[in-house]
Amino acid sequence: MRMRNKYRKPTTLLGYAGSRCSVSVVVWSLVGCLLLLHLYSLVHQKDGEGGVLQMRMNHHPLFRELEEVEEENIQIPPPRGKRSPRAAKRRPKRTTTLIDEFLDESSQLRHIFFPDQKTAVDPMKDAGNDSFCYFPGRIWLDTDGNPIQAHGGGILYDERSSTYYWYGEYKDGPTYHAHKKGAARVDIIGVGCYSSKDLWTWKNEGIVLAAEEEDETHDLHKSNVLERPKVIYNEETHKYVMWMHIDDTNYTKASVGVAVSDSPTGPFNYLYSKRPHGFDSRDMAIFKDDDGVAYLIYSSEDNSELHIGPLTQDYLDVTRVMRRILVGEHREAPALFKYQGTYYMITSGCTGWAPNEALAHAAESILGPWETMGNPCIGGNKVFRLTTFFAQSTFVLPLSGLSGSFIFMADRWNPADLRDSRYVWLPLTVGGAADQPLEYNFGFPLWSRVSIYWHKRWRLPYRWSEKK
């Protein structure tokens, strides 16, 4: 969409002095306007530290207080134990970073990233002032008092029952390494489902797609991998359709799996797995557009690019249409959403269970071209922003009552004990100018900024679902 001045008229058209003068007035006014627009876009850009100067636009006023920039100041403790002078000489002291602390299970800062049971969010207890508050990283209990098991998940709003259903990996088993160099894993247990009316109090609806215990050749055999399940509803067939990443222990099968149910709470009937469009497929997501067409998006070509294509009308398969996007960008964990006709997506880098920098992308057409806009994270501190608040994207939930406002859902993986991975839910808004719009239209950025705001504690505006 880059605008080239290919239709520039020859200057000989400026016949005489009078018209030359008026043309130059018009030209200079235009230049002035463009400069003003450009200045406007600059004022709305990120400051050098990754915070944001100003970008409140578009979305619902009730969401504005969630756009306060909240800083985190975490002091890294001095290294424990004395080093012998010889050791110090051999290996000069390396500065410990916050990421080292996060990855170190015995870190003194562990409680900051993985707060203990005492601070758990328990919607069944009188939480007083903390009622309906999200505390990213804290243990989150369901209505039975057990930690929610819905990792790498996504949410379906079921119009028929006016209920939210949260589906995710049920990982409540021991973490181990199948091979010395293999990634930490938990055997497949199944897909957990939780229901809620308020997005805070979640009732366990059980395992809606269970692992296969006996048949070793089955995709869902416990020794395999089932990740990132997502469910959408098909208005024509009246079926709930689940798509998921299916793999073997070594992540070489690289396929998608499909399951179907008559009810949002299952049981889901597992249909098959395949390599979509004949390509390897790892992290994936499903997006249902306003016109009812649903799309599969997946990391492919060894995670070097993403592929996107529409599903068949019954949502049970892919069609032959597929586009390669973000080629060579090495992104995974896609979470897609739409606002005012534009498609947006958050992705992560590819570093196993370790956190890395999120990027936001935008497109006019869902099949692309997609453009990368930059890091959407605001607040915390620099390391928080460079690690997606020590988490990885999984889903972006639109808040129907609050136009332009979303919940960003991410997983704070705990590779030492995957069942104890935490949820990082934060407010996400679309508005203001993007930081790094690659395509400029006379210097005026085409895309709106996607912003995810760090908050230690936050809640949705009072009676948010009734607002329009």
- Residues forming the site for ligand DGJ (CB under 6 A): 152, 183, 227-228, 283, 332-333, 352-353, 392
Rounded to the nearest whole angstrom, what is the least distance from the CB of residue 209 to ligand DGJ in the complex? 17
Of 352, 422, 356, 417, give the one whose Cα is nearest residue 383: 356
- Closest approach, Cβ 124 to ligand DGJ, in A, equals 30
For residue 303, the minimal CB distance to ligand DGJ (Å) is: 9
Before 369, cis peptide (omega within 30)?
yes
User: In what helix (H) or strand (E) does residue 112 lie, and over which residues does it extend?
Assistant: helix 110-113
**C-alpha dihedral sign at 146, 147, 148, 151:** negative
Query: Among 113, 122, 191, 114, which residue's Cα sits nearest to residue 151?
Result: 191
Tokens of 221: 């055999």
Residue from 332, 323, 227 nearest 273 by CA: 227
> 219-251 burial by CB neighbour count: b if 16+ within 10 A, else e?
bbbbebbbbbbbbbbbeeeebbbbbbbbbeeeb
Q: Minimum distance between the CB of residue 299 and ligand DGJ, rounded to whole angstroms? A: 8
Residue 445 tokens, joined? 């950025």
- The residue among 402 and 418 lying less far from ligand DGJ, judged by its C-beta, is 418
CB of 460 to ligand DGJ, least distance (A): 27
φ/ψ (deg, to 5) at 325: -130, 160
**Amino acid type, 51:** G
Pick the closer one to ligand DGJ by CB: 77 or 182.
Answer: 182
In the complex with ligand DGJ, the residue whose CB is nearer, 284 or 402, is 284
Task: Select 335 or 430, whichever has its Cβ closest to ligand DGJ.
Answer: 335
CB 253, min distance to ligand DGJ, A: 13
**Residue with smaller CB distance to ligand DGJ, 195 or 348:** 348
Give 152 or 461: the residue with its C-beta nearer to ligand DGJ: 152
Residue 139 DSSP label: -
Q: What residues contact 424, with CB distance under 8 A and at least 6 apart?
A: 136, 137, 388, 389, 390, 391, 409, 410, 411, 412
Q: Tokens 């399940």 appear where?
A: 229
What is the nearest approach in angstroms of ligand DGJ to the Cβ of residue 333?
5
Residue 249 Cβ vs ligand DGJ, minimum distance, rounded to whole Å: 11
Contact 381, 454 (CB under 8 A): no
Sign of the four-CA dihedral 354, 454, 411, 394: negative
* CB of 233 or CB of 390, closer to ligand DGJ: 390
Calpha distance 411→283 (Å, rounded): 13
Could you tell me the smallest distance in angstroms from the CB atom of residue 169 to ligand DGJ? 8
Length of the chain: 468
Give the integer Cα–Cα distance in Å for 41 and 38: 5
C-alpha pair distances (Å), 314 with each of 292, 310, 317? 10, 11, 8
Residue with Cβ nearer ligand DGJ (46 or 307): 307
Q: Which is nearer to ligand DGJ, 250 or 340 (CB)?
A: 250
How many other CB atoms are found less than 10 A from the CB of residue 201? 17
- Shortest separation between residue 141's beta carbon and ligand DGJ, angstroms: 24
Nearer to ligand DGJ, 332 or 371 (CB): 332
Q: Which amino acid is at 337?
A: F
